[in-house]
Amino acid sequence: MSTEAVVELTGVTKTFPGVVALNKVDFCVRYNEILGLVGENGAGKSTLMKILIGLYRPDAGQIRIRGQLTTLKDPESAGRNGIGMVFQEGCMIPNLTVCENLFLSHEDGFMRHGLLQHKMIRSAAREVLARVGVTFDPDTVVQTLTPGEQQMVEIARLLWLSSLYEIANPVLILDEPTTVLLEDETKRLFEILQEIKQHASVIFISHRLEEIVENTDRIVVFKDGEYVTQLDPRQAEITEIEKLMVGKELTLDHFWVSEQGEPETDQPEVLGVNGLHLKGKFEPISFSIRRGEIVSLVGLVGSGKEEICECLTGTVKATSGRVAVAGKELRLSSPGDAVDNGIGHIPKERRSAGLALDMSVMDNINLLVLRTLKKRGFIRRRLEKANALKWVTEARIKTPSIHTKSAHLSGGNQQKTIISKWLSSSVKVLILDHPTRGVDVGAKSEIYGRIRKLASSGMSLLIMCDTLEEDIGLCDRMIILKDGRVVRQVQCPPDQKPTPLDLIDAIV
């Protein structure tokens, strides 16, 4: 690893109306390194990356690329300087093939007599893909690939472009690439990054500090738009990084285990699932959740856990089986049936499936309880405000007012808004699908606390988390699924939490 910088930013400042997104930031990327960039949401990571790929222009400061003072005026010029980014949500045209996406808008090299030579394109594509260790057919339509494979195609494209522009050491930016990956895909990604590193630099952004510590060469911490420090991953402790990111000591009892009740077998059964079955997705499954219990569904993608939840929320119709809430059997043919019978659901895709973004915090909180905020048949403004205010205070939603559009809140506060919406209604069972995805460390802890409170208030929770640690820390009981079957049930009482290692062989 060379200590020389391929990209160097000095005194870079970027302000948006009312916010200093970056404040006199000095930042560099060295040759042949994997740089882990960490910070809470809003710490300035994305702004910095958008400056690097030419989407934003800094208000002040200099950018040097390979020693040369450079202005990056758009993504095109960033590309010519060998800087490219793989976006969280992917940035390809889904209905075109891998080939077409790989060489999009750079097909000139494959022209003979004014016509595109498809044979040439295909063999070039195979070669480019081989460089990132993937072998699928270049004629595959991109939307049929897994998110992991799509990332590989994007990485391959960036590498190919930099060789096209004859850039020796390109810089690849990966923004939270692992949130959409399966465990073995993540492993693969890091293997490939280690190889790529031989002739490129990688900026790796992630909220998962474990993988940052394990896989990067250097860690840079950002907080509130400022560069805080850099760390050597071989010596860094995760708790230390968290402390730097948040700027304060996090509670040691991250998951509020001290508030987890003892398992109480005398509590009534609230959710009863009997022989629920979805053909091709999961085998008949039976389980129940007691009042105040947190049950965690654990398994890889494809284990059937997502589909089980979809059946319970009425999004997908089960092939057979019975579901009962508080002893009453349900007919689940739409989400409305689930909601009416007390099964709530906090979706994974917060923005696209959880919020009315252009409506106010108040409107979002009150959605499910509007019919109860009536007087003489009409919805009353006063009651609406009172209910919204109650929940904003109760859930400590940070918002300028209850009339603020929910789009303007941070991810953590949006999540708290969604949770409040379900709490204000009388759901008995709440299914939490990755409740802390894309939420920063500080807000995570608050959400854990909220989940704990929900349980102690008597709600039954079914959760699926981002990490195994989260599942273990939060739940009272864990159901481990593999290939659509239950392989193990594990009790997780407060004093005898299993470790991820105890469970991992059951999962994979």
Give the residues lining the site for another protein (CB under 8 A). Answer: 17, 53, 55, 57, 74-76, 79, 84-85, 91-93, 101, 104-106, 154, 157-158, 161, 313, 315, 334-340, 345, 347, 352-359, 363, 367-368, 370-371, 377-379, 421
Report residue 374: phi and psi, to 5°: -105, 160
Min dist CB 108 to another protein, Å, is 13
* Cβ atoms within 10 Å of 112's Cβ, excluding its own: 8
Min dist CB 367 to another protein, Å, is 6
Cβ distance 415 to 465 under 8 Å?
no
Q: Which is nearer to another protein, 424 or 445 (CB)?
A: 424
Min dist CB 195 to another protein, Å, is 21
Q: How far is CA 385 from the centre of its chain?
A: 32
Q: Which is nearer to another protein, 45 or 223 (CB)?
A: 45
Min dist CB 202 to another protein, Å, is 15
Q: Which is nearer to another protein, 124 or 231 (CB)?
A: 124
Min dist CB 65 to another protein, Å, is 17
Q: Which is nearer to another protein, 3 or 105 (CB)?
A: 105
Q: Which is nearer to another protein, 181 or 368 (CB)?
A: 368
**What is the spatial order of strands in the sheet that 328-329 belongs to?**
282-290, 269-278, 320-325, 328-329
Min dist CB 440 to another protein, Å, is 21
Q: What is the CA radius of gyration of the chain?
A: 25
Residues 6+ apart with CB under 8 A from 169: 6, 31, 32, 66, 82, 199, 200, 201
* Rounded distance between C-alpha atoms, residue 447 and residue 461, angstroms: 14
Helix, strand, coil percent content, the chain, rounded in steps of 5 = 35, 25, 35
Min dist CB 71 to another protein, Å, is 14
Residues 6+ apart with CB under 8 A from 36: 204, 205, 206, 212, 213, 215, 216, 218, 219, 220, 233
Q: Which is nearer to another protein, 52 or 297 (CB)?
A: 52
Q: Which is nearer to another protein, 42 or 354 (CB)?
A: 354
357: which 2 tokens?
Answer: 């973004």
